[in-house]
């Protein structure tokens, strides 16, 4: 699985299979999306149907492209950054719930999100589990690949989401508009998992 910057135009094109295929081909041909395992070139193999929900619970159906790396013989899904892997709600909705929970809010009253309270608690719990690993992985890559370092004192007294945002500021921006989306772009392209 590879997550890529999806911008506003890609959100609108999510519903059009031909546009999704054309957009992903452009990303592949420009070298912006490569195999996360070997950094080799991908081709667009196919598309499959996927849905996501907004904060009100409204379901939207669209398309996800699937690539192919001949060298590794893998078929990664090329997921736009506004979608969180294996989740039905948009990444921005999940991020808002996490932000409110980290600020001391109660997920049952979280920003008008239509998801069940148990689902929102699971999002928060999973983020706590994976978020620390994401911060560590991104800080390690920052040091080894960019020779940049963030001191632990700089991250002191920050929530996990704030620490992740702070680490992401050191990387070239992908302009996805979301902390989780940007983190997932970097994590999946470096074969370090996802949030």
Give the number of other Cβ atoms within 10 Å of residue 16's Cβ: 13
Q: Considering just the CA atoms, what is the radius of gyration of the chain in Å? A: 17
pLDDT score of 155 more than 70: yes
Q: What is the mean pLDDT of residues 171-193?
A: 82
Residue 49 has pLDDT above 90, yes or no: yes
Say yes or no to pLDDT of 109 above 90.
no
| Over residues 143-161, mean pLDDT | 90
Query: CB-based burial of residue 102 (10 Å sphere; 0-12 exposed, 13-18 middle, 19+ buried)?
Result: middle
| Cα(105)–Cα(127) distance, integer angstroms | 16
What pLDDT does residue 148 have?
A: 87
- CA-CA distance, 137 to 67, in Å (whole number)? 25
Asked whether residue 7 carries a pLDDT value surpassing 80, the answer given is no
Closest CA to 93 of 48, 60, 47, 142: 60
State if pTM tops 0.75. Answer: yes
Give the residue with greater pLDDT, 22 vs 109: 22
* Strands 59-68 and 77-80, bridge-based pairing: antiparallel
First vs last C-alpha separation in the chain: 12
Mean pLDDT (the chain) is 89
Over 80: is that where the pLDDT of 16 sits? Answer: yes
* pLDDT higher than threshold 70 for residue 8: no
Mean pLDDT value of segment 147-162: 90
């Amino acid at each position: 699985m590879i997550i890529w910057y999806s911008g506003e135009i890609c959100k609108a094109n999510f519903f059009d299979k031909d546009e999704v295929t054309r957009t992903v081909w452009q990303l592949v041909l420009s070298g912006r999306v490569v195999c996360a395992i070997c950094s080799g070139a991908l081709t667009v193999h196919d598309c499959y149907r996927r849905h996501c929900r907004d904060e009100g619970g409204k379901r939207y159906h669209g398309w996800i492209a699937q690539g192919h790396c001949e060298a590794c013989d893998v078929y990664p899904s090329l997921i736009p950054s506004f979608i969180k892997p294996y989740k039905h709600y948009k990444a921005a909705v999940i991020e808002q719930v996490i932000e409110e929970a980290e600020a001391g809010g109660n997920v049952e009253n979280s920003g008008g999100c239509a998801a069940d309270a148990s689902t929102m608690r699971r999002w928060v719990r999973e983020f706590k589990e994976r978020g620390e690993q994401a911060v560590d992985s991104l800080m390690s890559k920052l040091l080894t690949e960019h020779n940049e370092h963030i001191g632990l004192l700089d991250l002191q007294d920050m929530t996990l989401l704030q620490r992740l945002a702070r680490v992401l500021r050191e990387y070239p921006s992908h302009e996805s508009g979301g902390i989780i989306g940007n983190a997932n772009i970097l994590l999946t392209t470096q074969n370090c998992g996802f949030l």
